[in-house]
Amino acid sequence: MGLLIKNGEIVTAADRFVADVYCDGGTVAAIGANLEKRGAKDEVLDASAQLVLPGFIDPHVHMELPFMGTVSADDFETGTASGVAGGTTCIIDFCIPARGESLLKGLETWRERSRKAVADYAFHMAITGWSDRTADEMRAVVQQHGITSFKVFMAYKGAIMVDDGELYQVMKQAAKLGAVVAVHAENGDVVFNLQKELVAAGQLGPEFHPVSRPSCVEGEATERALMMAALHGTRTYIVHMTCKESVAALERAKLRGQKCYGETCPQYLLLDDRVFVKPDFEGAAYVMSPPIRPPHIGHHDALWTGLTTGMLDSVGTDHCPFTMEQKRMGKDNFTLIPNGAAGVEDRLQLLYTYGVCEGRFDVQKMVALGATNPAKIFGLYPRKGTIAVGGDADIVLYDPSSRGTRSAKTHHSRADRNIFEGFKVSGKPTHVIVGGRVRYRDGKLDVERGAGRFIEREVARHSAPVAAGAAADARAR
Ligand code: URP
Ligand code: ZN
Ligand code: ZN
Nearest residue CA, atom 3 of ligand 1? 289
Check: CB of residue 338 under 8 Å from CB of residue 327: yes
Compute the distance between CA of residue 135 and CA of residue 150 in angstroms, rounded to an integer: 12
Question: In CATH, what is the architecture of 55-383?
Answer: Alpha-Beta Barrel (3.20)
Nearest C-alpha neighbor of 119 from the set 455, 467, 466, 458: 455
Half-sphere exposure (CA, 13 Å, Cβ side) for 123?
A: 30
Nearest atom (ligand 1) to Cα of 72:
5
Q: What is the pLDDT of residue 461?
A: 56
Phi, psi for 366 (deg, rounded to 5): -60, -45
Q: Which residues pair with 314 in a beta bridge?
A: 263
Q: What is the pLDDT of residue 471?
A: 57
Q: 451-468 as b/e, with b when 16 or more CB fall inside 10 Å?
A: bbbbbebebbeebeebee
Check: CB of residue 339 under 8 Å from CB of residue 262: no
| 320 Cβ closer than 6 Å to some ligand 1 atom | yes
Distance from the CA of 156 to the center of ligand 1, in angstroms?
A: 9
Q: What is the pLDDT of residue 167?
A: 98
Check: CB of residue 369 under 8 Å from CB of residue 313: yes
What is the number of other CB atoms lying within 10 angstroms of the CB of residue 14? 11
Dihedral sign computed on CA atoms, order 58, 363, 247, 252: positive
How high is the mean pLDDT in each 10-residue block of the chain (477 residues)?
Answer: 97 98 98 97 98 99 98 99 99 97 98 98 98 98 98 98 98 98 99 98 98 98 98 98 98 97 99 98 98 97 98 98 98 98 99 98 98 98 98 98 98 98 98 98 98 94 49 55
Compute the distance between CA of residue 262 and CA of residue 190 in angstroms, rounded to an integer: 23
Distance from the CA of 283 to the center of ligand 3, in angstroms?
A: 19
Distance from the CA of 93 to the center of ligand 3, in angstroms?
A: 9
Nearest residue CA, atom 7 of ligand 1? 289
Q: How many helices (H) and strands (E) does the chain have?
A: 14, 19
Nearest atom (ligand 1) to Cα of 62:
5
Give the residue extent of every domain in the chain.
55-383
Q: How far apart are the first and last CA of the chain?
A: 57
Inter-CA distances, 30 with 53, 197, 380, 383, 430, Å: 15, 62, 20, 15, 22
Phi, psi for 106 (deg, rounded to 5): -60, -40
| 289 Cβ closer than 6 Å to some ligand 1 atom | yes
Q: What is the pLDDT of residue 476?
A: 56
Check: CB of residue 109 under 8 Å from CB of residue 101: no
Triad 377, 378, 380: Cα angle to 5°: 110
pTM above 0.75, yes or no: yes
